Amino acid sequence: MNRDWLMEEVKRQMPAKRWAHTLGVMESAVQLARRFGGDETKADLAALLHDYCKFWPIDRQERLIADNGLAGDLLEYDKALLHAPAAAWIAREHYGITDEEVLDAIRYHTSGRAGMTKLDKIVCLADYIEPGRDFPGVHTIRELADNSLEKALIAGFDSTLTYLIAKQQIIYPLTVIARNSLVRELGRVWKLRG
Ligand code: DGI
Ligand code: FE
Ligand code: FE
């Protein structure tokens, strides 16, 4: 598949600002892959497609999720979660991407999940720290990302959870599970190192 052509396809789905965000996530994802020994090509591709459906009308996202039986429980939570599994479906069905690692990284880039793969972590974290992002705490997350995918991602999820709690919004349980899973993973590494 031609990368330049695919970039044009993605660009057409979104306003200029979101396309700039996508380019930023691609840049950060490749940088993280290089830093932590991930697959740069897969990081680039997953980052390119991760927000493909973000600016579709919500009812179009809901229909795609419902019609194709994708994570039905998502429909009971914040609509901001829908674009991730929708983009994974588009990647497979419209663009013929069959690499499950890439599809999972797209699918779980918002919610996270238990036992996130290195590629899941890279794409999810790149989404938090791409150069265009500016939210309280982003500097701390960028600093943590110099040394640890897991510590940085925990800080990212903590900031999202804190934000949702402050706004008294419903939390998708998989995000709590993802965050706990990363904390456990770090605990195990520390124990192994004595
Ligand atoms: O699509 P982006 O804006 O680049 O970033 P994203 O895919 O991480 O979407 C994050 C949005 O999802 C953010 O505004 C918070 C919202 N959201 C709502 N409920 C949840 C949630 N995010 C997570 N991780 N978990 C939730 O339960
Ligand atoms: Fe997103
Ligand atoms: Fe994004």
pLDDT digits (tens, 9 = 90+) for 21-71: 999 999 999 999 999 999 999 999 999 999 999 999 999 999 999 999 997
Rounded CA-CA distance 146/151 in Å is 10
How far away, in angstroms, is 79 Cα from ligand 2 center? 11
Confidence of residue 72 (pLDDT cuts 50, 70, 90): confident
Phi/psi-derived region of residue 168, left when phi > 0, alpha when psi is between -120 and 50, beta in every other case: left
Q: What is the pLDDT of residue 71?
A: 77
User: 3-state DSSP: the chain helix, strand, coil percent, rounded to 5?
Assistant: 70, 0, 30
**Best residue among 48, 160, 177, 180 to mutate for probing ligand 1, ranked by most atoms within 8 Å of CB:** 160
Task: Please report where in the chains the tokens 């993802």 appear, as a residue.
Answer: 178
Extract the tokens encoding 50. 């991760």
Q: How far is the CA of 192 from the centre of ligand 2 (A)?
A: 34
Mean pLDDT (whole number) for 137-142 = 98
Give the number of other CB atoms < 10 A from CB of residue 84.
26
| Cα–Cα nearest to 124, from 146, 156, 172, 83 | 156
What pLDDT is attached to residue 191?
Answer: 65
Q: Kindly report the length of the chain.
A: 194
Residue 1: predicted pLDDT: 73
Query: How many domains is the chain built from?
Result: 1
pLDDT higher than 60, residue 194: no
Q: How far apart are CA 13 and CA 148, in angstroms?
A: 33
What is the pTM for the complete model shown?
Answer: 0.96
Residue nearest to atom 12 of ligand 1 (CA): 80
Per-residue pLDDT at 188? 76
Residue 136 burial (CB count, 10 A): 9
Confidence of residue 190 (pLDDT cuts 50, 70, 90): low
Domain containing 157: what range? 3-193
Structure confidence at residue 47 (pLDDT): 99
CATH number at residue 25: 1.10.3210.10
Ligand 1 lined by 164 (C-beta under 6 Å): yes
The two three-digit tokens of residue 131, written as one number: 């150069």
Which amino acid appears at position 16 of this protein? Answer: A
What band does 193 get if pLDDT is binned at 50, 70 and 90?
low
Ligand showing the shortest atom-to-Cα distance for residue 48: 3
